């Protein structure tokens, strides 16, 4: 399957309330941010660049041969940081960039490619993302698990922390609907660079503030987000010390990795 030209940007801030110095956390002798970048490099992106606000992260990346740019510390969101990175890199408006979070050291390279391809194939959309079917009723009810509902062309209708779509006739609430399947949103985004440059100037949306979901600003302003449907969830991300230990165990335990990804 043809993979369109695209770039990967990885925002990385040193500050983290739940896991201090998270991007530099050691996993099998390598900083986590470098693991993330190497997963992205296996996706056949034209370039992979870490956008950071800290010299320590910049040094760790460049020491490992990973491209990185230094951005301002006062950005209110990762999208703002990526917009500045696009300026540093001189990317044209028509270019596609995929935002891979800096705490996703197990992100499948094929999923990165799929998100880029989804946007390339949908010229009516300014962004793309991904989702997978939910199998667990507890996750469906969990407000920390973001859900998304789609139209027939796999365009996002709405993102929510609430259990959507809600099965009205379920014997117990909330229960997983049989059809359409409940979808868990995966936090990876593709952008057209021209829109990414405009995004910081868009007025925050009431729905965005209510749900604390930045992607709702895009829908509020009438733009479209294409959604790639994955068959299963990617590997776990890292938000807490417990998550970090879990990922360390997976990588140290010989989790299968892409051929271009160096073994620990």
Domain boundaries, the chain: 6-251
In angstroms, rounded to a whole number, what is the distance separating the alpha carbons of residues 33 and 73?
18
Q: Tokens 């990175």 map to which residue?
A: 85
For residue 177, the tally of other CB atoms under 10 A from its CB is: 18
Quick one: angle between helices 109-120 and 32-41, nearest 10? 50
Range with lowest mean pLDDT among 60-64, 192-196, 199-203: 199-203
pLDDT number for residue 169: 76
Q: Is the pLDDT of residue 256 over 90?
A: no
The total of other beta-carbon atoms located within 10 Å of residue 57's CB is 24
Predicted confidence (pLDDT) at residue 181 exceeds the cutoff of 80: yes
Residue with tokens 């094929």: 110
- Mean pLDDT, rounded, for 13-32: 88
Lowest-confidence region among 62-66, 167-171, 199-203: 167-171
What tens digit of pLDDT does each residue of 108-131 get? Answer: 999 999 999 999 999 999 999 999
Do the beta carbons of residue 132 and residue 231 sit within 8 Å? yes
pLDDT of residue 134: 94
Q: Give the C-alpha separation, 145 to 160, whole Å.
A: 9
pLDDT category of residue 160 using cuts at 50, 70 and 90: very high
- pLDDT of residue 232 exceeding 90, the answer is no
From CA 223, how far away is CA 156, in angstroms rounded?
10
Task: Provide the pLDDT for residue 254.
Answer: 64
Which pLDDT score, from 0 to 100, does residue 1 have? 64
The mean predicted confidence, pLDDT, of the chain is 91
pLDDT given for residue 247 in this prediction: 94
Q: Provide the pLDDT confidence category of residue 255 given band limits of 50, 70 and 90.
A: low
| Residue 160: C-alpha distances to residues 22, 26, 163, 263 (Å) | 27, 33, 7, 38
Average pLDDT of the segment spanning 187-208: 95
pTM of the model: 0.91
């Amino acid at each position: 399957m043809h993979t369109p030209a695209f770039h990967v940007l990885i925002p990385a801030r040193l500050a983290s309330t739940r896991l201090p110095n998270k991007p530099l956390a050691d996993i099998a002798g390598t900083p986590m941010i470098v693991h993330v970048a190497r997963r992205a490099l296996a996706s056949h992106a034209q370039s992979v660049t870490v956008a950071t606000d800290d010299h320590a992260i910049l040094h760790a990346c460049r020491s490992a041969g990973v491209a990185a740019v230094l951005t301002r510390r006062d950005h209110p969101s990762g999208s703002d940081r990526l917009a500045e990175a696009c300026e540093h890199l001189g990317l044209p408006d028509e270019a596609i960039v995929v935002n891979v979070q800096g705490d996703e050291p197990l992100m499948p390279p094929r999923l990165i490619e799929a998100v880029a391809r989804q946007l390339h194939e949908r010229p009516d959309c300014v962004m793309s993302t991904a989702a997978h079917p939910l199998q667990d009723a507890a996750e469906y009810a969990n407000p920390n698990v973001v859900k998304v509902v789609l139209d027939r062309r796999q365009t996002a209708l709405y993102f929510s922390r609430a259990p959507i779509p809600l099965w009205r006739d379920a014997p117990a609430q909330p229960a997983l609907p049989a059809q359409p399947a409940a979808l868990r949103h995966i936090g990876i985004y593709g952008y057209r660079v021209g829109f990414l440059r405009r995004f910081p100037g868009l007025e925050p949306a009431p729905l965005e503030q209510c749900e604390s979901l930045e992607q709702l600003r895009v829908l509020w302003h009438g733009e479209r987000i294409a959604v790639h449907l994955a068959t299963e969830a990617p590997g776990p991300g890292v938000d807490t010390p417990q998550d970090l230990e879990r990922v360390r165990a997976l990588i140290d335990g010989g989790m299968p990795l892409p051929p271009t990804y160096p073994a620990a």
